[in-house]
Amino acid sequence: MPRSTWGRRLWIVFTVICFITSLLPSPARSFFGELTIEKEKQLGEEFFLQLQQYFNIIHDPFLNSYLNAVGQKLVQQVGAQPFDYHFSIIEDPSLNAFAVPGGYVFLNTGLIQLMDNEDELAGVIAHEITHIHARHIAKRMNKAKFTTIASLIGGLAAVLMGGAAAGPLLMGTQAASESAMLKYSRDDEREADTL
C-alpha cells in the first residue's frame, strides 16, 4: 500500500476519534482531562471505602496511633501538602505496602511482621509518601490515557489497513503501550527510592 494511503487512513482514524470524543457526554470527556488534586482526594476516599469491603483493616488504637505518628512525622519532612495523609494496616500475610491518590498509605501485616525496627517501617512509609507527593499515581493514570488513545488509534489503523500488516501493527501497538507503562512504573519506583 502506498505511504500516502497509510497517512490518509491514519488521519481519518484520528479525525474519527476526535469527532467521537467531542460527542461524548461531559463525564466521559473528562477521562481525557487532567487528574486534579480534588479528583485525587475523591478517588483516594472512594478507594478506601471500597477497600474496606474486601479487606480487614486493623482498628487497634495503639497500632494505628503509632503508625500515624511515624507517618505524620515523615509527611512533615516533605513540606506543604495538598493532602491529609491516612495510614492504615491491612490484615494480609503478603509482603506489600502501597499508596493511592489523595494521601492514603496501606501496609500489610505480613510486611510489618517482617520488620526488625522503626527505621525499616519509616523507610517503607517514606517510599509510599513519595509516590503520593510526586503524584506518581496521577501521572501514571494520565499517561495511561494517552497510551490507551495511541492503542485505540493503532487498533483502528490495523482494522482500516487490513491484510497482512494488520496483525503485526495491532500487536506492535499493544506491546508499545505496555512497554511505556512499565517504564513509567520503573521510573516512579526509582524516584520514590531516591527521594
Residues with catalytic roles: 128, 193
- b/e string for 57-96 if b means 16 or more Cβ within 10 A? eeeeeeebeebeebbeebbeeeeeeebebbbbbbeeeeee
**Closest C-alpha among 128, 36, 51, 123 to residue 87:** 128
**Angle at which helices 136-161 and 118-133 cross, to 10°:** 50
Asked if residue 95 lies in contact with residue 112, where contact means CB atoms within 8 angstroms, the answer is: no
